[in-house]
Structure 1
Amino acid sequence: MPSVGQTLPLHQLGRRLRQWREDAGYSLEKAAAKVPGMSQTALYRLEKGLKAKPNPRDVRAICELYGLRNDLIDGAVGLAMQAAQKDWWWHAYGDLIPEGFDVYVAQETAAEAIRSHQPNLIPGLLQTPSYVLALIQRALPDAGQDEWERRVEIKTHRKAILTRPDPVAMDVVIGQAALHHRVGSPTIMAAQLRHLTEMSALHRNISLRILPFEAGFPCGASMPPFVILDFGTTTDGSPVEPRTVFLENVVGGIYLRKPDDVEFHDRAYSTITQASLDAKASQILVTRLAKEYERE
């Protein structure tokens, strides 16, 4: 089992430090030797998320050794400063951690399986570039074309986890409202819905269901969007990292790891799935709505 001291910020920090060291071409021994006061054991513990109170100065020195950009360095230092958050973690965008240092994407990339409930919007991993662009233009109307395109590229790059050699298993329930909420033009919506059917038909690791309007509120309440991340197990059957629930809003996100919180969302997802259309009926509904957009 992961150590009780291993918090989500510690896991995030350790995973990134290890990747950055490898990208820079340093062995653990050589990297530790070049950071004042750092031993090989201490760096190993940092990379494994085992150092309960990482020193922000040490983290900055390590990142500078690897030649990282300032925003990445600031993000790593921010994670070190929030290392004590255990059962839940509130990450405010642009607070201690710069906006460009995407904490969730690192979790998403490390996950083995993702379950996603999205009642009003197409999930990010299944969005087309045109759909993404239309959303970003509404969210950041004054940003300009270059910034819009940069953000589209970043978001589009995330989708590689679905088609890589060891793809993430993605199980998603989309509310029917998301198919009707117009993002951009009818042409954009038609292409987006066609993309949904193609991705779920062509890739065995993607399971798509639609929660129809007729299902009402299966949990007895209006459930917000949430994502359950599973990181798989080690050879002895222990979890690589604790399963995590991610709840996002416009100013930040909440990460939940307390077993009771994860189990609650497990039950909610199961209830929502049972009330949803099966895969075939979902494909038929999405295809019908795509054709309606195409006729406009």
Structure 2
Amino acid sequence: MSSKDDEEGPASTLPRRQLGRFLRDWREKEALTIDAAGKLADLSRSALQRIETGRNQRIRKQDVKALCELYGVPPEEARMAVDLSALARRKSWYHAYGGLFSDTFNMYLGLEASARRLTQYHEQIHGLLQTPDYARALISAFYRGGDPDEINRRVELRMKRQAMITRKRNPLELELLLHESALHRNIGGPRVMAAQRRHLVEVSKLPNVTVRIQPYEAGSTWGILHGPFSIMEFETNAKGKPVEPPIIYLEGGPSADVYLEKPEEVQLYSELASDIRSSCLDEVRTRELIRRVTKEYEK
């Protein structure tokens, strides 16, 4: 990323929002009100509120250090929080982060947890709709030779994330535009795939979950191999305006993930999703196809 990129344009909201969530979670863990925490850290209520909501464009390292000390944040996590405050001042529309340090500061998980609606195109089953065995097969393949306990921890974390679509209050609205190849790609073997397909049918019946298959015969949307992407939208205020701008997430696989905030890029991917959607089977035909494929592989 060039120095010119760092100097031009408004600062990214992503690191600020991530840091704000982290500090807010720690404050709440310590059962401190925002007023009490502000006084103890020598910050006004409005200043701390701006930090926690990601609206403070000039976050001072000493404030982050003071808050971490106040909340008893472990030294390594406190160091990463201070590093994140430096990223919050960087100015660029293009953001490539390799998970952003650790699970503590995983950019995608933080955004997903606060999103109101998630639209995704993919050629694998989304993590929120995976069975434990399917998730374990994917994670084990990525972390080849990894510690079994660490793999189990990652599977457990993925399963816990699924509460976002099943919770009674404000469940995440998930729209999965899934390429048909995902139904045929062997992940974990026939038994695992059969269970995953059946689970996909059942979870797609949730009122807040939409699963639609883009069949092979649909061809290439826009004539390009665009790869997987997610559109993340957030809560709105009393006036119906988003409290956080939408984000485009491009999964990096073995390389760094990419996050896009620029309005015209968000619009571009929204139009791409719309065109993919228009070539997908409807929900009823999607479930029929999944059931048919499952039976074919069970013969």
TM-score, structure 1 normalization: 0.91
Supply the AA of the counterpart residue of 2:213: I
RMSD: 1.8
Q: Give the gaps of 5 or more residues in structure 2.
A: 1-9
Closer, same or farther: CA 60–291 of 1 in aligned 2, 3 Å: farther
The answer on whether the counterparts of 1:125 and 1:159 sit within 8 Å (CA) in structure 2 is yes
Instruction: State the distance in 2 between where 1:41 and 1:211 align.
Output: 47
3-state SS in 1 of match to 2:174:
strand
Residue 166 of structure 2 corresponds to residue 176 of structure 1: no
- Letter in structure 1 aligned against 2:141: R
Give the 3 Å change call, closer, same or farther, for CA 42–100 of structure 1 in structure 2.
closer
State the distance in 2 between where 1:171 and 1:235 align: 25
Contact 1:126 1:159 in 2 (8 A): yes
Identity across aligned pairs (percent)? 37
| 1:24–1:18 CA distance, 2 compared to 1 (3 A) | same
Where in structure 2 are the equivalents of 1:15-30 lying within 5 Å?
15-30=21-36
Structure 2 match to 1:213: 216
2:60 matched residue in structure 1: 55
Q: 2:17 aligns with which of 11, 16, 22?
A: 11
Q: Which residue of 2 aligns with 1:161?
A: 164
| CA offsets 1:114-153 (integer angstroms, 9 cap, x no match) | 10000x2111111111011111211112222211101101
How far apart, in 1, do the equivalents of 2:209 and 2:91 lie?
Answer: 32
**Structure 1 residue identity aligned to 2:139:** I
Match of 1:189, as an amino acid?
Answer: M
Alignment length (residue pairs): 287
Measured after TM superposition, the shift of residue 87 of structure 1 is 3.0
Residue 243 of structure 1 aligns with which residue?
A: 246
CA distance in 1, matches of 2:221, 2:56: 43
- Are positions 1:112 and 2:116 aligned together? yes
Q: 1:89 aligns with which of 83, 95, 107?
A: 95
The residue correspondences of 1:101-140 to structure 2 (distance < 5 A) are 101-118=105-122, 120-140=123-143
Identify the range of structure 1 (133-142 vs 172-181) with the bigger mean alpha-carbon deviation. 133-142
Q: What is the CA deviation profile of residues 15-53 of structure 1, one whole-angstrom value per residue up to 9, with x for unaligned ones?
A: 332232122111123212333x54444322212322212
- Cα distance in 1 for residues equivalent to 2:287 and 2:176: 13
**SS of 1:116's equivalent?**
strand
Q: Using a 3 Å threshold, how does the CA distance of structure 1 residues 70 and 224 change in structure 2: closer, same or farther? A: farther
Q: Distance in 1 between matches of 2:207 and 2:145?
A: 40
Residue 236 to residue 196, structure 1, CA distance change in 2 (3 Å): same
SS at match of 1:219: helix
Checking the alignment, whether the CA contact within 8 Å between 1:226 and 1:248 is kept in structure 2 is: yes
TM-score by length of 2: 0.90
Equivalent position amino acid for 2:177 in 1: V
Match of 2:263 in 1: 259
Q: Is the 8 A contact 2:12 2:93 kept in 1?
A: no
Distance in 2 separating the partners of 1:21 and 1:191: 41
In structure 2, the CA distance between the partners of 1:6 and 1:213, relative to structure 1 (3 Å rule), is closer
CA distance in 2, matches of 1:6, 1:48: 13
Deviation at 1:99, TM superposition (A): 5.0
Is the CA contact (8 Å cut-off) linking 1:134 and 1:183 kept in structure 2?
yes
Q: Which residue of 1 aligns with 2:294?
A: 290
* Segments ≥4 residues shifted beyond 6 Å: none
Q: Which residue type is aligned with residue 198 of structure 2?
A: R
CA distance in 2, matches of 1:33, 1:53: 20
